[in-house]
Amino acid sequence: MRIQDATAADLPGILAIYNDAVLNTTAIWNETQVDLANRDAWLVERQAQGFPVLVASAAGEILGYATYGTWRSIEGFRHSVEHSVYVRRDQRGQGLGSLLLQTLIERAKAAELHVIVAAIESENLTSIRLHERLGFVITGQMPQVGRKFERWLDLTFMQLTLPEQRSSR
């Protein structure tokens, strides 16, 4: 298995994982599937902003992806990002999410970021435990701020504060 920067050739695999999460999980609170043009525009925008989009692949198949991007658009938040990690349904529970997230953390350190934010549906204990193992701490919980599958969803915020960097951009 390899973890590398995503290219346009990886978009069909990313699209399939994304739409599966839309249809079947509360990891993404969107209710509408997207098309390839949407994911292409998303990738181009992330890359133009200097944000990584990583894919995990084996035998030419995309098994998962991870990215981070702007947490809040106000300048004072420029040292903080919010991340996403998604793993193909048949690959979950095998450590792939951890590998992707660890690689993303290394990219954030190299970019001299200060905080990585996670916003996780509160019943997703697998994701919360993964983040805790990698040093994230729970910083807040917001009850009933979202709705999907005919029920209210709670949101747990977690963050990882990265070691202080040399410059302060």
Distance of alpha carbon 73 from alpha carbon 3, whole angstroms = 28
Range of the domain at 111: 2-161
- Mean pLDDT, consecutive 10-residue stretches, the chain (169 aa), reads 96 98 96 98 97 97 98 95 97 96 97 97 97 98 98 98 73
At residue 169, the pLDDT reads 53
The DSSP-derived string for the chain is -EEEE--GGGHHHHHHHHHHHHHH-SSS---S---HHHHHHHHHHHHHTT--EEEEEETTEEEEEEEEEES-SSGGGTTEEEEEEEE-GGGTTSSHHHHHHHHHHHHHHHTT--EEEEEEETT-HHHHHHHHHTT-EEEEEEEEEEEETTEEEEEEEEEEEPPPPS---
Count of domains for the chain: 1
Q: Is 54 a domain residue?
A: yes
> β-pairing, 151-161 with 61-70?
unpaired
> Measured between alpha carbons, how far is residue 109 from residues 15, 81, 113 in Å?
27, 11, 6
Which CATH number fits the domain that encloses residue 65?
3.40.630.30
